[in-house]
Amino acid sequence: MSNLHATELELALNALPRLYPGPGGVAGVVSDGKVVATRAWGYADRARRRPMEAATRLPICSISKQFTCGVLISLFAQFDRLDSGLVRLLPRFGEGRPSVPELCNNQSGLRDYWALSVLLGASAGQTFNRGDAIRMFANVQSGHFEPGTRYSYSNGNYRLLAELIEAETGRALEWHYRDLIWGPAGMDTALATPDTRFPVDDVTGYEGNAACGFFPAANGIYWVGDAGISASLNDMLAYECWVDKHRDDADALYARLARPVTFRDGTPAAYGFGLAHGKLGDFDTTGHGGALRGFRAHRLHVASERLSIFVAFNHEADAHHAATHLGRSALGLPKPRAIAADQSWRGQWICSETGLICRIDTGETGASLSFASEPEQLMPASYGSLRGPSTVVTQDGAALTMSRRKENLVSRLIPLEHIVTADAAEIAGRYACDELDAAMTIDAVDGGVYARFEGFLGVGPMELVCPAGSDTWTVATRRTLDAPAPGEWTLSVRRGKNGAVAGCVLGCWLARGIRYRKIS
């Protein structure tokens, strides 16, 4: 890019260790098809004092999804060849089974399998074998929306794609990565690392922060397709150079991955084939983040400016924010202006479409919307609204209307009066979820309320349950097999004709509308 702001970029790169403190990290920038800057600082393993280097391979986690989709579109001109395999993997789903493109575009409606692992009794750090995912898929009977109508992030979509590709070709996915992408792109040291118990290059991921200290993170999951690739900074920058080399070829692999997609109703979608489409200032971007306990990564591509950025940490700092900060610096974009949000926006609501609690907090830097896995920053805008990159909230009398463009979701937010204490005796007891073949026990003793989940993955820890509103509770699961954790679940009580508690509906953004019946 001829207008690269080299000085601003240099300052931003030098500030990364200070702005995102932790054991170590790497960052690099490609401009006009050439590597113009790299950084590697700190330690890949603090105990053994192994330095972080540009050649150190780190798990890129969900950035792997675009590679899986790249293999898919390279091998199969017609995706319907894989339909019978999808029937085999989702035998109980019945009518309305998602299509392969809907898996690629996170429009399947399938609940995220890492979130469901919580309800099946998983504990953080336990071993999750390859066959465990297949068993989970075999029990799936429904999704949380009709395929093709909305967007919802689901790692299971890409795990299914991996199983379909390997079954149809009779070849491990890693060899397709090597032949179709890694080899041509010059990603010479990239490799498949599906078992997170065995990281390469003696790399350790760390939990914690500068305030409480950093400690090694334990991972035990097997993942492939949705993640499972480790690559160095050198590998990822070679990939970015390869993407730029073929920028003018409309049939090049990355160009095909980045083509616009729509929902079934023709509405443009902001996610397709393992790539998130967004904005950096007025510039269109594609990219993706990645997360595993103790690791964070993000790649950002601005095609019109021939600019690519990759950032990775072996700790849990905000790699997305770091990458966009570098991008804004390279493009000379001003820092977004914060506007104080009026306190009248503050409160909590129930989303009529998903049944989930939606909270808004306000301050001098705008409003914070808690609805999905991570809070979203919104700024006051014209006509009594709050606006973010893909969300608009408008006032509608006592209720609000929330429009989430990325998800193709428009919903009324119904006010939910907040309560601090509630008698949990009615909800205490044991519940069964027939679809998951799982159970939940709620204990209420001397004012303390806790829930425990059980299923074929084991018996989970006691999780905190808190009152939120009338017949509405929250269940916190801050740690799970995958990262980041699904966070807060909304538990909505169902009552029978006699007014007694008959069951509940449990959901989070990643896995909604899960019905339990009370059995004791």
* Residues designated as active site: 62, 65
**Cα separation, 512 vs 145, whole angstroms:** 9
- Joined together, the tokens standing for residue 268 give 């443009």
Q: Specify whether the CB–CB gap between 254 and 243 falls below 8 A.
A: yes
> Around 367, how many Cα atoms within 13 Å sit in the side-chain half-sphere?
27
* DSSP single-letter state for residue 376: E
Nearest to 87 by CA among 170, 167, 171: 167
- Joined together, the tokens standing for residue 191 give 């490799």
Q: Give 404's strand partners.
A: 391, 409
> Around 363, how many Cα atoms within 13 Å sit in the side-chain half-sphere?
5
3-state secondary structure 258-320: CCCEECCCCCEECEECCEEEEEECCEEEEEEEEEECCEEEEEEEEHHHCEEEEEEECCCCCHH
Nearest to 86 by CA among 145, 172, 147, 176: 147
Largest CA distance in the chain: 72
**Cα separation, 65 vs 274, whole angstroms:** 5
What 3-state DSSP class applies to 327?
Answer: helix
**Cα separation, 480 vs 79, whole angstroms:** 33
Q: Specify whether the CB–CB gap between 312 and 25 falls below 8 A.
A: yes
- Joined together, the tokens standing for residue 475 give 């269940």
Query: 361: part of which helix (H) or strand (E)?
Result: strand 357-363
Nearest to 124 by CA among 224, 236, 219, 247: 219
